[in-house]
Amino acid sequence: MKAITYYSLDNILIEDTSIPKIGAQEALVEMKACGVCGSDLMEWYLKTRVPLVLGHEPSGVIAKVGSKVEGFEAGDRVFTHHHVACLTCHYCRRGAYTLCEQFAKTHLNPGGFAEYFKVPAPNLQVDTVKIPHELSFEEATLIEPVGCCIRALNKCGIQASDSAVVVGAGPSGIIFAMLLRIFGASQVIATDFVDYRLKAAKRLGADLTVNPEAESLMDVVKKATDGHGADIVVVTAPNVNAYLAGIELCRKGGTLCIFAPTQPEDFMRLSLNKLFFSEIKLVPSYSTSHIETRIALKLIQTKRIDAKKLITHRFPLSKTAEAFQIAARSKECIKVVVLNER
């Protein structure tokens, strides 16, 4: 079969490899669509693990199931999550599924950017869901990223009528704008340096959009929130300056959501005195679990999250390298999806 092997952002190759063999409790899935995630573009995050086959937003059709598999059969249309928790450890018992030791150890084999991939038993049992026929495979690729955003907002304790600022209007930022509307936010402000993204954010959920190169973000936020600042600020841009701005945009007692990782060597100075007296909360949120993926599926299925409006570019598997270049460097794209059209 064909698999897309990542060596670096500028060195992505189509290679021949064997179709994975499955065990009695595993399944083989023919990939139909797989989204390109922002984490697929972070070379610092990937360089110690190359070469590897990426792709953790896949949907497809089950080609084969093991002899002891129950509940699934060949021909089922599915989304499967690349990481799953054990559900029984110290962290899982407290609902912190993404911190489970098993979570990081479970992977699709070889990855979503391949003609076929193996679903290990834990992934099949815990977080593989059937896709209804009215939902396209490419729409189903949004289940994982939407799930990540749902988990973040739940961790932030968003309440109806909250004001929110989303820093970074890429795919995740726009999903946040859409979800904040569903969660009942009274005011959603999106900010980015790319006007194309701001127009998409305004079309899909934001009340106000701000390009900081054209106007003062702080002035807009203060005016929109009666001088208080935002109840919730979600930072989806992986850089220190975005987080420093985010803290300044929070009201007293507000919440800053840390949604995008910076490079390991990046640090920022924080005044503990200011945090103490302002009671601003810092809430990191990494990945998603079997709980949010099911919520995401329902929201996409019912069109409350219109996944088709997020997808701007589609590439065949043979042009995955080009898909990565567009996702990483184009200023006029939102979500890029790779399709297996065999």
Among residues 188, 192, 187, the alpha carbon closest in space to that of 217 is found at: 192
Distance separating alpha carbons of residues 315 and 280, to the nearest angstrom: 43
**For residues 85-114, b (16+ Cβ closer than 10 Å) or e, as one string?**
bbeebebbeeeebbbbebbeebbbbbbbbb
Q: May I ask the CATH class of domain 2-142+310-339?
A: alpha beta
Phi, psi (rounded to 5 degrees) for 126: -95, -40
The reply to whether 2-142+310-339 and 148-284 are identical in fold is: no
Instruction: Count other C-beta atoms under 10 Å from residue 324's C-beta.
Output: 23
Tens-place pLDDT, residues 27-67:
999 999 999 999 999 999 999 999 999 999 999 999 999 99
Tens-place pLDDT, residues 109-141:
999 999 999 999 999 999 999 999 999 999 999
Tens-place pLDDT, residues 2-21:
999 999 999 999 999 999 99
Whether 342 has a pLDDT exceeding 80, the answer reads no
Q: Where are the domains of the chain?
A: 2-142+310-339, 148-284
Report the percent of the chain where pLDDT is more than 90.
Answer: 99
pLDDT at 341: 81
Q: Amino acid identity, residue 278?
A: S
Our separate counts of H helices and E strands in the chain read 12, 15
Topology of 148-284 in CATH? Rossmann fold (3.40.50)
Q: Amino acid identity, residue 158?
A: I
pLDDT at 13: 98
Strand order in the sheet with 230-235: 208-210, 187-191, 163-167, 230-235, 250-258, 281-284
Reported pTM: 0.97
Whether 72 has a pLDDT exceeding 80, the answer reads yes
Tens-place pLDDT, residues 234-280:
999 999 999 999 999 999 999 999 999 999 999 999 999 999 999 99
Instruction: Count other C-beta atoms under 10 Å from residue 268's C-beta.
Output: 11
Rounded to the nearest angstrom, the gap between the alpha carbon of residue 245 and the centroid of all alpha carbons in its chain is: 22
